[in-house]
């Protein structure tokens, strides 16, 4: 009976050991499964992290592309604006060379008009409708005239509203008969260099010659030969700043002085 009990106890012990080993194996399997799960989780996190980094990089690249695009557009806009400004400046300060008109040639360099009188014909007419430089009236600030033989200088600088200085040093006016409206509307004209060169003894009509020359303050025309002048009407009309005028005393042939200083 004792042997039987020991056999039973041995069987129970074996069962206990076997049960423990089974439990251990189960725990090991669960641990391995857990470890594998954690590993997979880490891998998933790494994949997510990689995807996030990739997306972030892509977004960054897209942003850089957008910035580059904006920079290019900005540069193009700037270039366009500069080009438009340059073209605008070219319109205002146009250079025109070697153009001709009925009585000679003319050019514009920067803001200066150059007129070269060549025609000595006694039949040439004035510039009321044919002063080609009038198209640049908003940009001409200076003018230089040279040559001789001009008979009619009427309306020569008419409407050049930005003109400030005129140089007549090389202009011979021995043949001049008409200077009416010559500087009419030159609102900013302040200085006429060698104004005595307008003193041709043949001049008969100087009406409206300086009308609306609003910046003129003094006119010393003692050398201006008025001995043959017949019409001086409205000569200084609208010269609102003019406070001193000195003329040649010989005006015996003048027939019309109406409105000479009106306005």
Which domain CATH number covers 230? 3.80.10
Same domain, 115 and 233: yes
Which residues does the chain have with pLDDT short of 50?
A: 1-13, 15-17, 19-20, 22-23, 25-26, 28, 31, 33-35, 37, 39, 41-42, 44-45, 48-49, 52, 56, 63, 66-67, 71, 74, 77-93
Q: Report the distance separating Cα 52 and Cα 42, nearest Å.
A: 15
Question: Which of these three, 46, 64, 92, is where a domain ends?
Answer: 92
What is the total count of domains within the chain?
Answer: 2
pLDDT of residue 262: 86
Q: Are residues 187 and 236 in the same domain?
A: yes
Q: Specify whether 15 is located in the same domain as 57.
A: yes
E-assigned strand segments in the chain: 96-101, 104-109, 112-117, 142-147, 165-171, 191-193, 218-221, 244-247
Instruction: Indicate if 88 and 200 belong to the same structural domain.
Output: no
pLDDT for the residue numbered 196: 81
Same domain, 1 and 76: yes
Q: Quick one: 60 and 164 in the same domain?
A: no
The reply to whether 85 and 129 lie within a common domain is no
Q: What is the pLDDT of residue 95?
A: 76
- Does this model's pTM top 0.85? My answer is no
Task: For residues 150 and 36, state if they share a domain.
Answer: no
- Do 163 and 252 fall into the same domain? yes
3 with 123, same domain: the answer is no
User: In the listed set 48, 76, 92, which residue is the last one of a domain according to the structure?
Assistant: 92
Question: What is the model's pLDDT at position 200?
Answer: 75
Sign of CA dihedral 39, 40, 41, 43: positive
Domain that holds residue 122: 94-263
Decide which of 33, 57, 92 is a domain's last residue.
Answer: 92
């Amino acid at each position: 009976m004792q042997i039987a009990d020991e056999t039973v106890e041995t069987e129970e012990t074996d069962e206990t050991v076997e049960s423990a080993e089974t439990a251990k194996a189960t725990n090991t399997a669960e641990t391995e499964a857990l470890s594998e799960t954690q590993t997979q989780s880490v891998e998933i996190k790494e994949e997510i992290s990689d995807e996030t980094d990739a997306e972030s990089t892509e977004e960054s690249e897209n942003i850089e592309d957008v910035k580059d695009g904006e920079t290019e557009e900005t540069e193009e806009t700037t270039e366009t604006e500069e080009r438009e400004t340059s073209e605008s400046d070219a319109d205002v300060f146009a250079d025109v060379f070697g153009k001709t008109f009925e009585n000679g040639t003319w050019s514009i360099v920067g803001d200066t008009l150059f007129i070269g009188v060549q025609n000595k014909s006694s039949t040439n007419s004035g510039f009321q409708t044919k002063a080609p430089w009038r198209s640049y009236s908003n940009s001409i600030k200076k003018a230089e005239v040279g040559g001789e033989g001009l008979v009619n200088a009427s309306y020569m600088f008419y409407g050049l509203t930005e003109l400030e200085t005129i140089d007549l040093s090389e202009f011979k006016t021995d043949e001049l008969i008409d200077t009416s409206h010559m500087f009419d509307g030159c609102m900013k004209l302040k200085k006429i260099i060698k104004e005595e060169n307008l003193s041709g003894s043949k001049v008969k009509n100087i009406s409206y010659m300086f009308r609306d020359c609003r910046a003129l303050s003094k006119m010393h025309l003692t050398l201006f030969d008025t001995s043959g002048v017949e019409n001086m009407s409205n000569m200084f009309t609208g010269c609102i700043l003019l406070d001193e005028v000195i003329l040649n005393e010989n005006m015996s042939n003048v027939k019309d002085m109406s409105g000479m200083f009106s306005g």
